[in-house]
Structure 1
Amino acid sequence: MAETKEQRSPKPPVAGDEAAMLLGYLERQRATFAWKVEGLDAAGLRATLGPSPMTLGGMLKHMARFEDGMSSVWLYGRPPSPPWDKVDWKAEHDWDWRSAAEDSPEELYALWRDAVARSRELFAAALAEGGLERPGIGVTNEHGEHPSLRFILLNLIEEYARHNGHADLIRESIDGRVGHDPPG
């Protein structure tokens, strides 16, 4: 089944409630990221730019971890799931970035797609449970405050936006693909 333009390049609503706007912008960031990393083989996913060790494969794995962390750990207080549960993050804070070179493109793409699917389900459930004010129960800040779903969604949007800029430069260096909006 071919994707529609709306699926490939979702546009956030220009008017709507706050939840629709936040989810719309998150989907746009996800779609942009998917377009930047799509169709690359192992060499493309391991390519670096300049002195940075950052790769698109590492970015796929990092964003999968971030999706799972925000939606499952932060929002619902669940323990990390595989493969995140096997890592001593204090000793190997960049494990997701570094270990991606050992994974096949198929594994990396599936890891990210599956994490996004889980996040969509968990965010929808949290919205139904308490809206954007619903507190996440897995973490607190230095004042003992739990982040709201609004905060968690904004944090995820910010992380995608930040790494989409990196992905843009790396992808351009691989095959010249540029831009921020996937073609329809």
Structure 2
Amino acid sequence: MPADQVSAVERVRPPEDGDERATLTGMLDFLRDTVVHKVAGLTDEQAFSRPVPASELTPAGLVKHLTAIERFWFAIDFAGSDTEWPWTEDDPHGNFPLSPDDTLAAIVAAYRAECARSRQIVAGAALEDIAQGEDMTFNLRYALTHLIEETSRHAGHLDLLRESIDGTAGE
């Protein structure tokens, strides 16, 4: 595989008999790895393509969006850290824009780094802890559940896009 392509990662299924924290964090990590798995092996041309004519979604755009979602929910809203805002004034709601200098490998590396930061934030908090961001009232349990839902939904989008691009389906 060329150095500029994304390699598949090993996905570890979450525990089926774990406590609440292990189940929530294990499921989210499994879905995060699924996102990387779905784009592994794609060229930049494929990852930036819009294979479903009625949609503007691209595989690369979805991964970039999920990177911003991780930052927004965990670093900014939950931890209340003074971290760079993930969206521009032109796109304040975090759609799926790509820059001309983006590459899939760089987007996936940023996603994996943001997920690692999120894991660190989550590890240092209790599920009942309330978000520290301005005007935030949700707890960590809610944030984890929301990220499971959002990551799962976009992994489903990636399933459809990937199958449309090269016929790869499943897993």
CA distance in 2, matches of 1:47, 1:80: 30
User: Is it true that 1:157 corresponds to 2:148 in the alignment?
Assistant: yes
Q: Which runs of 5+ in 1 are unaligned?
A: 1-6
CA distance in 2, matches of 1:37, 1:101: 19
CA distance in 2, matches of 1:69, 1:55: 21
Shift of 1:97: 1.2
Does the CA-based 8 Å contact 2:77-2:134 persist in structure 1?
Answer: yes
2:114 alignment partner AA:
A
Where 1:121 maps in the other structure, the secondary structure is helix
Does the CA-based 8 Å contact 1:46-1:101 persist in structure 2?
Answer: no
Change (3 A) 1:101 1:170: farther
Percentage identity across paired residues of the two chains: 33
- Structure 2 length-normalised TM: 0.86
Larger RCO of the pair (alpha carbons < 8 Å, separation 6+): 1
Partner of 2:165: 174
CA distance in 2, matches of 1:71, 1:95: 15
Partner of 1:103: 102
Q: How far does the alpha carbon of each residue in 1:66-109 deviate from its partner, in whole angstroms, 9 at most, with x for none? A: 11111101111123326x27x21xx4236651224541222212
- Structure 1 length-normalised TM: 0.81
Partner of 1:27: 29
Structure 1 stretches (4+) deviating beyond 3 angstroms? 93-96
Change (3 A) 1:94 1:53: farther
CA distance in 1, matches of 2:99, 2:168: 22
Change (3 A) 1:169 1:101: farther
Q: Cα RMSD over matched residues?
A: 1.9
CA distance in 2, matches of 1:104, 1:11: 29
CA distance in 1, matches of 2:154, 2:135: 25
Q: How far does the alpha carbon of each residue in 1:126-170 deviate from its partner, in whole angstroms, 9 at most, with x for none? A: 2xxxx21011111546xxxx1100000001000011101100000
Q: Which runs of 5+ in 2 are unaligned?
A: 1-8
Partner of 1:113: 112
Does the CA-based 8 Å contact 1:59-1:97 persist in structure 2?
Answer: yes
1:136 alignment partner AA:
A
Change (3 A) 1:69 1:93: same
More moved, 163-172 vs 68-77? 68-77
Does the CA-based 8 Å contact 1:74-1:137 persist in structure 2?
Answer: yes
1:28 alignment partner AA:
F
Where 1:44 maps in the other structure, the secondary structure is helix
More moved, 71-80 vs 18-27? 71-80
Does the CA-based 8 Å contact 1:57-1:100 persist in structure 2?
Answer: no
Partner of 2:129: 134
Q: How far does the alpha carbon of each residue in 1:4-53 deviate from its partner, in whole angstroms, 9 at most, with x for none? A: xxx71211111121001101111111121111011222111112112101
Change (3 A) 1:73 1:163: same
Where 2:96 maps in the other structure, the secondary structure is helix
